A and B are shown apart, each in its own frame.
Chain A
């Protein structure tokens, strides 16, 4: 009896393990043959007929963001499934930093989601490793309508002549400030502040209210990029950094001055919060003026989230980031993009969903410009009367404050950028803890970053 059971078990096991091996090797070979096939599809016009329409199509879409975005995006995707029977779209969302770990791992496993939310910082890397589908053939075929998107906006999703990403919303760097606090103390903030103006306001706020100033900490890269534009310095050159070490001193000088004069917030405050979280920013979160800031460096589309996170009775204002020459620094950017992943089995259906997210009034009535001002001018116009006061303010800021004084954004960051940014944030940390002065910090950063870039 025992032996019989053993025999039976062994047969089952053998069958199961054989099936297991067979299954995995089969998928491995299909994945291998599929990879060149999709890259081919990416370069030449797709000849494969749409597999959508009939039969069940399952797509996945991944994005990073906040709770509002998760709910709205999933609702828009569900509406698509309702309108297109047989198509189901699964949403996968995570926080910004986890998102890129997950995406890279899935790319390595040949299973990048069908629809991917992309960032300007990563486009170059993903395209160079042929992980995104070139959308140009679909645009030419008419499957993807970009007629109401401006050429400038389309350009930001273009790499080496191919279009790999469609703008999901337009925003611009914006400084949020505690308007209630400043009004009460008779301090005014004007658009296009220079560094001197900014320091003057910070000093005044500190003297009158005790509130400190938080200058981007832990995520200084975007601000450094913005700051250096005033000197016509582009951060990254070919395998090296732009400009000279001295060019970077004024940036670090601002921190040193704030530290000496006492208005810069204590860096220990940042150890307690998740950096990048709107809700935990010292502008809205903290127990005393000593641990709070009157301003925060953010992006225009975050105004809703910041205002929601602010304590009751506090109105949040929005102005440009301070810079040695704010009119030269300013730019409009795509807050994020939608792309199609190269491992998709249904590129046509994925493009259709992409088209729906960008051009459909139904979809955008749900999304309501949470990702920034919609790229399609038609949709933006349609949406604007439905928007609340905060979103109206965002549109005003983009159209009247930034657009007249902006220039094209710098090219996407090359490989090695994330390491350089990590170095920047460590140097900044050391500066704030008093290990470096501005000059030493600039040299440390410039030389270290050059070394990183030269090895790429």
Chain B
């Protein structure tokens, strides 16, 4: 009996699937502990009155109802976040594509330029750059100094004006075009040279080569970048949190920062959790819509 048990244990340990489970254990444990459990908790809290300090009290849909019926700031932040995402992401993609096209032709210096243009993507999301940005757009900052040099005497408060403050954040986002640029570069390289040669033989100029060959063959990459960057755009936090804190008049208050403020500044953690789940829904919906449009403009045939 004992012998048999040992035998079956050995058999169990020797199975391929056991090894598979064991080797995936570090990830599984991490995934369960740091993703599934916190998400489950957050879903539960979103149905509670919870102020961090006292235990949560179940209140059903109250938080969700309050959001749509009794919270003008919620609607305002949705507006701001959509504006930010839908302006900054297309601008960033266009910019990334233009720079990728410029850097496509290999010369001795391209490697350096590629690295240099990629740099903002690495450091752009950092606190240090956010603080630098704040200084650049200050009344006595670099922007106003430059304007003074070209003859416009101004001490315009870029960050303090309702119309311009959001643009400082958009420009910062556009500046971080590096990772999209690299993806564009690599897919530009995959376009066969033969296509261009054939087009040249047929007498197509540079312009129509770009619109008839390059752009259609890039659409899968554009689509990928668009989806990823839109999701990132909705999740932007640091820039707003450090540079503007939502000021002035909530004109730059990102959804994520509002969520943070509700959760940790006003101690309405239950409400903050509900906000997070609505955000998940919104991002999911937008991704779905983007995928639905795919068949109209993304080229999927083999090259």
- Contact status A13-B25, CB under 8 Å: yes
Given A17-B29, A129-B53: A271 touches B247 (CB 8 Å cut-off): yes
* Interface segment out of the listed B94-102, B120-128, B259-267, B291-299: B259-267
Q: How far is the CA of A330 from the CA of B248 in the complex (A)?
A: 32
Contact with A along B24-44 (1 / 0, CB 8 A): 011001000000000000000
Q: Is B283 an interface residue (CB 8 A)?
A: no
Q: How many residues from B make CB contacts under 8 Å with A?
A: 36
Complex interface bits, B120-161 against A, C-beta within 8 A gives 1, otherwise 0: 000000000000001001111000000000000001010111
Report whether A272 and B160 are in contact in the complex, using a CB–CB cutoff of 8 Å: yes
Determine how close the nearest CB of chain B comes to the CB of A398; give it in whole angstroms.
31
Known: A269-B139, A418-B265. A105 touches B52 (CB 8 A): yes
B23 lies within 8 A of chain A by Cβ: yes
* B14 within 8 A of partner (CB): yes
A287 at the interface (CB under 8 A from B): yes
Establish whether residues B265 and A268, one from each chain, have CB atoms under 8 Å apart when the complex forms. no
A454 vs B247: C-alpha distance when bound (angstroms): 27
Chain B residues closer than 8 Å to A268, beta-carbon distance: 139, 157, 159-161, 248
Q: In the complex, which of the residues B14, B25, B53, B266 contacts A422, with contact meaning CB atoms closer than 8 Å?
A: B266
**Known: A101-B264, A104-B264, A418-B267. Is A129-B13 also a contact (CB below 8 A)?**
no
Q: How far is the CB of A36 from chain B (nearest CB, A)?
A: 13
A108 at the binding interface (Cβ < 8 Å): yes
Say yes or no: is A308 at the interface (Cβ < 8 Å to chain B): no
Say whether, besides A6-B19, A9-B23, A290 and B266 are in contact (CB < 8 Å).
Answer: no
Residues on the B chain within 8 Å of A272, using CB = 134, 137-139, 157, 159-160
Measured CA separation A10–B13 after assembly (Å): 8
- Is there an interface contact between B162 and A433, defined as CB atoms closer than 8 Å? yes
A271 engages B249 (CB within 8 Å): no
Q: Considering the chains assembled together, what is the distance between the CA atoms of A269 and B159 in angstroms?
A: 9
The answer, among B23, B159, B265, for a CB contact under 8 Å with A97, is: B265
Q: Is the CB of B160 within 8 A of A266?
A: yes
Q: Does A27 contact B (CB under 8 A)?
A: no
Instruction: Give the distance to chain B from A66, nearest Cβ to Cβ, in Å.
Output: 18
Interface of A is mostly: helix
- Bound together, the chains give a CA A418 to CA B247 distance in angstroms of 18
Number of chain A residues close to chain B: CB under 8 A: 41
A430 on the B face (CB < 8 A):
yes
Contact A429 B248 (CB under 8 A): yes
* Given known contacts A9-B22, A9-B23, A418-B265, A104 and B250 CB-to-CB distance under 8 angstroms: no
Q: Decide: A429 and B165 in contact? CB cutoff 8 A.
A: no
Q: How far apart sit A416 and B284, CA to CA, in the bound complex (Å)?
A: 33
B8 within 8 A of A: no
Q: Do A271 and B244 have beta carbons less than 8 Å apart? A: yes
User: How far does the alpha carbon of A107 sit from the alpha carbon of B50 in the complex, in Å?
Assistant: 13
Q: A435 at interface (Cβ–Cβ under 8 A)?
A: yes
Q: How far is the CB of A274 from chain B (nearest CB, A)?
A: 9
Measured CB to CB, the residues of B under 8 A from A are: 13-14, 18-19, 22-23, 25-26, 29, 51-54, 134, 137-140, 155, 157, 159-162, 165, 244, 247-250, 261, 264-268
Contacts beyond the supplied A10-B13, A415-B51, A429-B248: 8 A-B pairs with Cβ under 8 Å:
A108-B52, A129-B54, A266-B160, A270-B247, A272-B138, A429-B247, A429-B249, A433-B249
Q: Could you list 27 A-B pairs, sorted by A, with CB under 8 Å? A: A6-B18, A6-B23, A7-B13, A10-B22, A104-B53, A108-B53, A126-B53, A266-B160, A267-B160, A268-B157, A268-B159, A269-B157, A270-B247, A271-B244, A271-B248, A272-B137, A272-B138, A272-B139, A287-B139, A290-B155, A291-B155, A418-B267, A426-B250, A429-B248, A429-B249, A433-B162, A435-B249
